[in-house]
Amino acid sequence: MRRGSTFARRQRSREAMRRERGFSLIELMIVVGIIMIVAGIAIPSLLRSRIAANEATIAAALKTIGTANVVYLSLFNRGYAGTMAQLGPTSGSCASVGSGCADLLDSSISGVNPATANPVKNGYRFTYYSPDPNPTPTTPNQSWAIVATPVGPGSTGISTFCFDNNNIIWKDTSGTMTTATLAGCSSTWPVGGNIGPT
């Protein structure tokens, strides 16, 4: 009786040891396959969500730039700003607040820090248009426009945007419109329609 029960115990112990060795190759391949399927479903959805968030942030940034330009117009008797940097904070080349650096926008979106004529925010590059980069009281800027284009089309954004002194954000859902004129967003801009006055 004892030999039989001892044999059974040893047999169970060997089976338990075999089970503790780990997963078989087929089991691991099944798990990897399931992970790949889930990733294949989740990644495009995540990318679409990121693009939508970037585009919403850019529309809000354009409204902020528009508000800053209206304040600039009312403060400095030069019309609208000639460059984005003129709406930004003080820097090495502009030591005190004035028409050269009005401190109406933060340093990154105005292109002050890092210093650039075409600042980037949330995967979009801004290009500013004005008739005179250095407006004066005798030659004020009566118009302006700004265009936002995705840095990585299809990954950071799809649509392009244009905003000007008419206070309407134009959106091109195809992303083909990428420029404006010195007088503002061209009449051909609203390919995707506008997203309303600000």
- Residue showing tokens 């001892």: 6
pLDDT digits 0-9 by tens, 113-156: 888 889 999 999 999 999 999 999 999 999 999 999 999 888 88
* Whether pTM exceeds 0.85: no
54-74 in b/e form (b: 16+ CB < 10 A) is bbeebbebbeebbebbeebbe
Say which residue, 94 or 15, is predicted with more confidence: 94
Q: How confident is the model at residue 14 (pLDDT cuts 50, 70, 90)?
A: low
Q: Domain count for the chain, please give it.
A: 1
Give me the phi and psi of 112, to 5 degrees please.
-85, -45
pLDDT digits 0-9 by tens, 160-195: 999 999 888 899 988 888 999 988 887 778 645 555
Say what the pLDDT of residue 22 is: 66
Of the given ranges (52-56, 67-71, 94-98), which has the lowest mean pLDDT?
94-98
Q: How confident is the model at residue 15 (pLDDT cuts 50, 70, 90)?
A: low
> Residue 179 belongs to what domain range?
2-197
* Both tokens assigned to 156: 């950071």
What is the Cα gyration radius of the chain?
30
Measured distance between the N- and C-terminal CA atoms of the chain, rounded to whole angstroms: 91
